Amino acid sequence: MRVRRYVLVLVTVLVSLGLRAQTDSLRVSLLTCAPGTEVYQLYGHTALRVQEAGKGVDVVFNYGVFDFNAPHFTWRFVLGECDYMVAAYPFSGFLQEYERRGSQVTEQVLALTVEEKERLFRNLATNSMPQNRTYRYNFLLNNCTTKARDMIEQAVDGHVVYVEHAEHPTYREMLHHYTHDFPWSETGNDLLLGATCDTVLTDRACQFLPERLMADMDGAQIFDKDENRRPLVGETNIILPDVPEKRMKPASSSWQARLMEWMTPLRAALCLLVVCLIIMVAEWHWRRMWWGVDMVLMTVQGIVGTFLCFMFLFSQHPAVDSNWQVWVLNPLPLLCMPWVVRSARRRRTCLYHYVNMLWLALFVLLMAWIPQIFCAPMLPLALVLLTRPISYYLNYRR
């Protein structure tokens, strides 16, 4: 969500003038917004709502705000150094966005004491000040959902205890729950995220997703210093109902649209594998190596591999530095391509093909034992790349 052009001064004025809220009528809620269909909407959203009827206050504190026009935003995002902000603005404006896209918005009214509500309101207002509103965003560890949870926990007198879950998923399993209907987004995630995402999580670590935090809040208890307990959530209301019709894109009858809907990354990789096998047979039949195929495959492999290796070595994003897929996708093909093409044009053997064949074959054989869930098309892509050195080996040997 981009930074809005207008600035809400209501909360800032309350704090700067030292006015105390009428806490007996103060109402603080956790808002959970259901996922949408765009890439940035797939996991839902979390915000905090503060209402004070006596002063006409009804504002949302949103920790999911960023400024796309900030200097070097894209570069900093790739490096994992992206800063998000908390912004306070009218609840009506917040609600309009989710009403347009048809996503359900659920409100959990927090059963806090007068002092706790006042403390939370004061902390949120202070956080929204220009000098305090920026924080270092981390999708898995420090996002809009975890920030809202942390602000609530800091305001209570005592500590919050959540219901323990019998099952403990991994990051990847939790993300797959939201991307299984969006195979290209799922493949993009799996291509970037490494073995760290396949470790079992604690219950608290799972709360980086809005709907998981909402479920945990329902059964949460506040324990004071004397170990007296009380529920964290007083009541739950559905402010906006789910309207699937608004999220569904109109079906297209064109064959291009139907083809794109059918063409998942896995199917695309399998089609490419079939094409490469046909090329192998043709090269064997005509006794001629088509080095142009090597140029295309090695260029794509090298470009994608350069990006993955850059993320592996330099990005601060979580889990990208444990990605075993750099075994196959790395910059080496770009460096070796001139040597490969020159050898093919002169009909000479090239050591690269023999080393590459052993390297890729070893990856295919060991995939089942590598402690990482690979993206769906990785095996057929590895076989696609393996067809080239095999074809060279068979033809040169003959």
Q: What is residue 9's predicted lDDT score, i.e. its pLDDT?
A: 42
CA distance 284 to 270: 21
User: Are the CB atoms for 123 and 151 separated by under 8 Å?
Assistant: yes
**Residue with structure tokens 């809907």?**
261
The full DSSP string for 18-53 is TPPP-GGGEEEEEEEE---SSGGGTT-EEEEEEEEG
Q: What is residue 363's predicted lDDT score, i.e. its pLDDT?
A: 97
**Residue with structure tokens 């570069």?**
75
Phi/psi at 359 (5° precision): -65, -45
Q: Which residues touch 110 (CB under 8 Å, ≥6 apart)?
A: 28, 29, 30, 117, 120, 152, 232, 233, 234
* Among 89, 84, 66, 83, CA closest to 6: 89
* Single-letter code of the amino acid located at 15: V
CA distance 46 to 28: 14
Q: In angstroms, how far is CA 362 from the centroid of its own chain?
A: 30
The full DSSP string for 181-198 is T-HHHHHHHHHH--GGGG
Q: Report residue 249 as tokens.
A: 């894109």
Phi/psi at 346 (5° precision): -90, 5
Q: Which residues touch 178 (CB under 8 Å, ≥6 apart)?
A: 35, 42, 43, 44, 209
User: How many secondary structure helices (H) and strands (E) does the chain include?
Assistant: 15, 10
Could you give the 3-state DSSP secondary structure of residue 5? coil
What element of type H or E holds 216?
helix 210-218
- From first to last of its 398 residues, the chain has per-residue pLDDT tens of 444 443 444 444 454 434 454 446 899 999 999 998 888 789 999 999 999 877 778 999 999 888 767 676 666 777 777 888 999 999 999 999 899 888 999 999 999 999 999 999 999 999 999 999 999 888 899 999 999 999 999 999 999 999 999 889 999 999 999 999 899 999 999 999 999 999 999 999 999 999 999 999 999 999 988 888 999 999 999 999 988 776 666 555 566 667 777 789 999 999 999 999 999 999 999 988 999 999 999 999 999 999 999 999 988 888 899 999 999 999 999 999 999 999 988 888 889 999 999 999 999 999 999 999 999 999 999 999 999 999 999 988 87
Phi/psi at 300 (5° precision): -65, -45
Q: What is residue 35's predicted lDDT score, i.e. its pLDDT?
A: 92
Q: Any long-range contacts for 362-369 (C-beta under 8 Å, 24+ apart)?
A: 363/327, 363/328
- Helix, strand, coil percentages in the chain from 3-state DSSP, rounded to 5: 55, 15, 30
What element of type H or E holds 222?
strand 221-223
DSSP 275: H
